[in-house]
Structure 1
Amino acid sequence: MAQPHRIEAKPIEDRYARGWHCLGLASDYKDGKTHTLNIFGTKLVAYQGEEDGEIHILDGYCPHMGADLGKGCVEGNALRCPFHAWRWGADGVCDDIPYAKRIPPKARIKQWPVCEQNHLLFVWNDPEGNPPPAEVAIPRIDACDSDEWSDWVIAKMVIDTNCRELVDNIADKAHFGPVHGSPLTRFSNIFEGHVATQIMHGRSKRLSGAGELRTHAVYYGPAYQVVDMKGEMEGTPIESILLNCHVPIDLNSFELRYGVLVKKIPGLSDAQNQAMAEAYVQQAQAAFYEDVDIWHTKTRVDNPVLCDGDGPVGKLRQWYAQFYMDAADVPASLKERKAYDFESAEPV
């Protein structure tokens, strides 16, 4: 008689994924104020330079006496500490101590690489401290700068689990029916380098009515996913782009941002298009929150019992593990293209 399967879950390594992490709309940080970021198990501070207009991110604690730099003020492109008025440049180097004759050579804090793309702000994390390589640059979304599309509508929430539970969705084809009521007609995964793709065709009363729902979802690195979606609403074809991204707060929680762009429908007024976009966004968010309800209460399983109808969950986790290794230790095999079809988890 077979013994009951016991769930295994190893202690989570105290390490955060190498890659770009999305912090939401860049415009939210361009208000002249400091913005505290409780992420990657520490505290950072983001602000816009008064002179260069660029967003800068620094370590959030002053190494002098530990003050919270998020409570400081912006001076030019620098931050003035609220405790003893040490000033920290955008490069992380202390450039002024009002009462000192000499600035200590060690007076330097970490400057975090940032980029703006698609009207979004990204911060780069690498436990080894290396700069982001060119090949992992965030791709441009032309729709973000097109009058034919709506603006981003983005919701933010905190999920109390490790972010791997979210990333498992890339390969989890079996949940679409039970969770979303969306039977599938096609499901494929492609893993290549730092990119993971999911292609899905199916039905969704909520997002495609009587028609077919098609999505093409791509993770660029460990934490930023863009989904091209074609559906239907009240008999009208709808094209949308979904944003699904996360930033770890600590090992057991993360900030989740979910956003939507909707293509305007020719022949409708701006008001009608806005109403259609808002209604579709609400439907898309409702579908996404069905996943959120699962993530809030599930447990971590390192040894899942899988069947032949499941997607390539194991292959997905191998792909995802590369972001938690030193760059030199990433197997060359992960750079090779691997595709898996709907019928089984075997390579096409």
Structure 2
Amino acid sequence: MIIVAAAETEAIRAIEVEAIPNRFARGWHCLGLAESFKDGKPHTVNAFGQKLVVFQGENGKINVLDAYCRHMGGDLSQGTIKGDTIACPFHDWRWGGDGRCKQIPYSRRVPLRARTAAWPTMEQDHLLFIWNDPEGKQPPADVTIPRIEGATSDSWTDWRWTSTIVETNCREVMDNIVDMAHFFYIHYSFPTYFKNIFEGHTATQIMKGRTRPDIARPDAEGNTMLGNTSVATYHGPSFMIDELTYHYEGFDLHSVLINSHYPIDENRFVLHSGIIAKHSEQLPKEAAEVLAGKLSSFILNGFQQDIDIWKNKARIDNPLLCEEDGPVYQLRRWYEQFYVNAADVKPEMTERFEFEIDTTRPVESWTKECQDNLARAAEGQS
């Protein structure tokens, strides 16, 4: 028997929080749909605590540079694309995607040290990624974002993409990977199975759930959602691919959901969501496009529910957990690998870890809550 002193059990637990690191995560970050940067104009992107310029040269490659010209500080994002270079609006110094100054029209030669910061980029599945590394190293081959089934297939819908700025540190969104209970209370879902797997640079959440009976309603086409199955994996610190199947009466809707973000600074990040859905006999192309649009709005509403919590909550480094909470501390240990030098990544940050929550108690409690809600609603209608 373990005897705990009364003074210890009655002690008030203090919230502990360290200063938010001003270092930004090493890894691939998605800036959004690649097509949005292919209009022949330079684009401003505020990320990683600085201003960047994104532009597509005549060769078709999208480039990302520090936005401020190393000559006299002109803003390249206000400049002009000329060939494969971005020309500064101040003195027309022309910078290539590799960060080297290629031409100074009024000068006989370009200074040997005329270089600026350039970010490695990758265009894949109609999305634009950039690689951030505080050590300035190139991306290793084994952390490449996997290709997404359906993203380039005619048998799937086009991306439905949304973007919003969130006024908090991006660690808040990462905690959702292990937080089963918030799906019921915030998103009105009903998880019945929940498991996490961390390994290497990936963190996976496997969740099965059913539609809450107290809020279930057929859609405009008469389709009633019964539940969903989700296998969601973060590939690195910011890009999650969710193989998400919605179960309806008589058919399944197969979709891929993207949940991604990049930091603006320590206290703000851009949150993206994207979804594509597969055509089927029950959902031909036009019907699938309509449903994908509705799902996009539904998912965006879910993110807004998270945002409303994040903007009012406290940052907490020592959360007090119960048995049915997920492995928050293990997740944060995994997440730390992206904020230290590659040589300082410890085995406990990347070793395989599995944790399945016993959902017996939550399911019992939530079933009763839904039944009580239905009973109160019936009484109100009588």
Normalized against structure 2, the TM-score is what?
A: 0.86
Shift of 1:39: 0.6
Shift of 1:268: 4.6
Q: 1:160 aligns with which of 150, 157, 167?
A: 167
1:117 alignment partner AA: Q
Change (3 A) 1:95 1:273: closer
Q: 2:286 aligns with which of 257, 271, 295?
A: 271
Q: Contact 1:20 / 1:124 at 8 angstroms: preserved in 2?
A: yes
1:247 aligns with 2:271: no
Shift of 1:4: 1.8
Q: Hey, what's the Cα distance between the residues in 2 that align with 1:14 and 1:288?
A: 25
2:57 alignment partner AA: G
Task: Show CA shifts across 1:228-252 (max 9, x none).
Answer: 1111356542221111000100000
Aligned to 2:305: 290
Q: Contact 1:209 / 1:235 at 8 angstroms: preserved in 2?
A: no
Q: Tell me, which stretches of 5 or more residues in structure 1 are unaligned?
A: none
Aligned to 2:246: 231
Larger Rg: 2
Aligned to 1:29: 37
Aligned to 2:115: 108
1:314 aligns with 2:321: no
Shift of 1:142: 2.3
1:61 aligns with 2:68: yes
**Residues 116-265 of structure 1 aligned to structure 2 (within 5 Å):** 116-205=123-212, 209=224, 211-233=226-248, 236-265=251-280
Q: Hey, what's the Cα distance between the residues in 2 that align with 1:270 and 1:209?
A: 20
1:11 alignment partner AA: A
Task: Show CA shifts across 1:165-211 (max 9, x none).
Answer: 00000111121121122222111000000000000011234699562
1:190 alignment partner AA: I
1:39 alignment partner AA: A
Q: 1:94 aligns with which of 88, 91, 101?
A: 101
Shift of 1:327: 0.2
Aligned to 1:48: 56
Shift of 1:32: 0.7
Q: Hey, what's the Cα distance between the residues in 2 that align with 1:162 and 1:329?
A: 23
Q: 1:19 aligns with which of 27, 47, 63?
A: 27
The count of corresponding residues between Structure 1 and Structure 2 is: 343
SS at match of 1:240: strand
Aligned to 2:362: none
More off after superposition, 328-337 vs 182-191: 328-337
Shift of 1:269: 4.6
Change (3 A) 1:279 1:89: closer
Q: Hey, what's the Cα distance between the residues in 2 that align with 1:245 and 1:314?
A: 21
Shift of 1:277: 2.5
Aligned to 1:325: 340
Change (3 A) 1:128 1:79: same
Q: Contact 1:93 / 1:109 at 8 angstroms: preserved in 2?
A: yes
Q: 1:10 aligns with which of 8, 12, 18?
A: 18
Shift of 1:274: 2.3
Normalized against structure 1, the TM-score is what?
A: 0.94
Q: Contact 2:40 / 2:55 at 8 angstroms: preserved in 1?
A: yes
SS at match of 1:294: helix
1:300 aligns with 2:315: yes
Q: Contact 1:183 / 1:202 at 8 angstroms: preserved in 2?
A: yes
1:144 alignment partner AA: A
Change (3 A) 1:88 1:315: same
More off after superposition, 131-140 vs 282-291: 282-291
SS at match of 2:330: helix
